[in-house]
Amino acid sequence: MAAEDHLTAAGSHLTAAERITGRLRVAVAAPLSEENCARTRELEPRIDLVVDQSLLPPMRWPADFAGDPAWRRTPRQQHSYEALLDSADALYGIPDVDPSALARTVRANARLRWVHTMAAGGGSQVRAAGLGAAELDRVAFTTSAGVHGQPLAEFALFGVLAGAKDLPRLNRQQRAREWSGRWTMKQVSEQTVLLLGLGGIGRVVAAKLHALGARVVGTSRRDVTVPGVSEVVSPDRLVEVAPAVDAVVNTLPGTEATEHLLDKRFFDALRPGATLVNVGRGNVVDEAALLEALDTGQVGFAALDVFETEPLPAASPLWDHDQVLVSPHTAALNAAEDRLIAELFAANATRLLDGDGLLNRVDTVEFY
């Protein structure tokens, strides 16, 4: 189904009860503070928010929606939790951030019409649930895309700057107390940056890079015009444009179409010494090919917030590579994230109740 069709179809996901009463029963399936519960109700008073804090895991940090892994429900609590989920028209969060729990709930709750995922890339969790075509048609899924745009864009900018200013060399020399001869650093204002993905995150990245004077080349399968982007190319032209690129920023989600999009052919074609920043999904980058490119100098520096396997295995060579900065998938985290997601959810609830299209609707063909 096309994105436009998804938007117009959203109104059809209203249940008969919603049309009659104008209310939406929402089960809170993921940690949500009392403050943000109140904020959600304030923004959309037609929500009947059903929440039992004793059934939700304690968060260890903001946006820790999986919660403390040592925490467990008793069998009785689990029964109560599932009964709560099965009574709702909509879910705030994927239950326990577990695709199998999502599948169970969709199949047990015939009245369920909408699930909001906490992640910007929540489509991958929906895909992992293995739902059938009828189930995907009955339930609308939305993501928290856009909430993470500013912090991820800042990390992307940091990565591009770190590569241009040779942060690894500065760190090595400082640790060795070495006052070397002076050298010429690269200027971002003189660089061409290839930006993979021109969605919510990519557009913020483009604006920040453009403000520094960089020439930004974006990728899209559609004919789009984005502020700050000088040229838009199709993803199948990546190898063609790679020789003119000084830095690469990936913001793409993990789909079948994007898996290992940045592979050996791409890295071999890059301008030697290029910087790579990944704030999208780890499987967009072929890590074996990246390591080879780092060793040969084709990639001069890589700032990575996401990886093919997470947590990054202790045996991964990326941990010890001098030209790699490892960030434990934390670049998107922001103290305001929980509140921003709650506000996005409330805005979408208003759209659903008013029969308008939902924001950030998951494409259930490619799951992004």
Residue linked to tokens 């985290």:
333
Whether the CB-CB separation of 290 and 278 falls below 8 Å is answered with no
Bridge partners for 231 per DSSP: 217
Q: How many CB atoms lie within 10 A of CB 189?
A: 12
The Cα–Cα gap between 191 and 147 comes to 28
Q: Return the amino acid letter for 169.
A: R
Which candidate, 159, 170, 165, places its Cα nearest to that of 195? Answer: 159
Q: In whole angstroms, give the CA distance from residue 77 to residue 103.
A: 19
Which of 190, 231, 310, 366 is catalytic? The answer is 310
Known catalytic membership, residue 310: yes
List 13, 127, 148, 281, catalytic entry: 281
* CA-wise closest residue to 27 among 70, 83, 103: 83
Residue 292 annotated among the catalytic residues of the structure: no
Q: Do the domains at 3-147+335-353 and 149-326 have one common CATH topology?
A: yes
Q: Name the amino acid, one letter, at 243.
A: P
Could you report the per-residue pLDDT of 195-239, keeping only the tens digit for each? 999 998 999 999 999 999 999 999 999 999 999 999 999 999 999
Flag residues of the chain having pLDDT under 70.
1-21
Cα-based distances in Å from 192 to 67, 134, 164, 209, 341: 41, 45, 12, 10, 34
Q: Which residues contact 171 (CB under 8 A, 6 or more apart)?
A: none
How far is the first Cα of the chain from the last one, in angstroms, to the nearest whole number? Answer: 12
pLDDT of residue 9: 41
Q: Homologous superfamily of 3-147+335-353 in CATH?
A: NAD(P)-binding Rossmann-like Domain (3.40.50.720)
> Can you tell me whether residue 235 is helix, strand or coil?
helix
What torsion do the CA atoms of 208, 341, 12, 363 make, to the nearest 10 degrees? 50
| Res 368: pLDDT | 86
User: For residue 328, what are its two tokens?
Assistant: 């434990």
Q: What is the pLDDT of residue 21?
A: 56
pTM of the model: 0.87
For residue 304, report the phi and psi dihedrals to the nearest 5 degrees. -120, 120
CATH topology of domain 149-326: Rossmann fold (3.40.50)
Per-residue confidence (pLDDT) for residue 255, from 0 to 100: 87
**Domain positions in the chain:** 3-147+335-353, 149-326
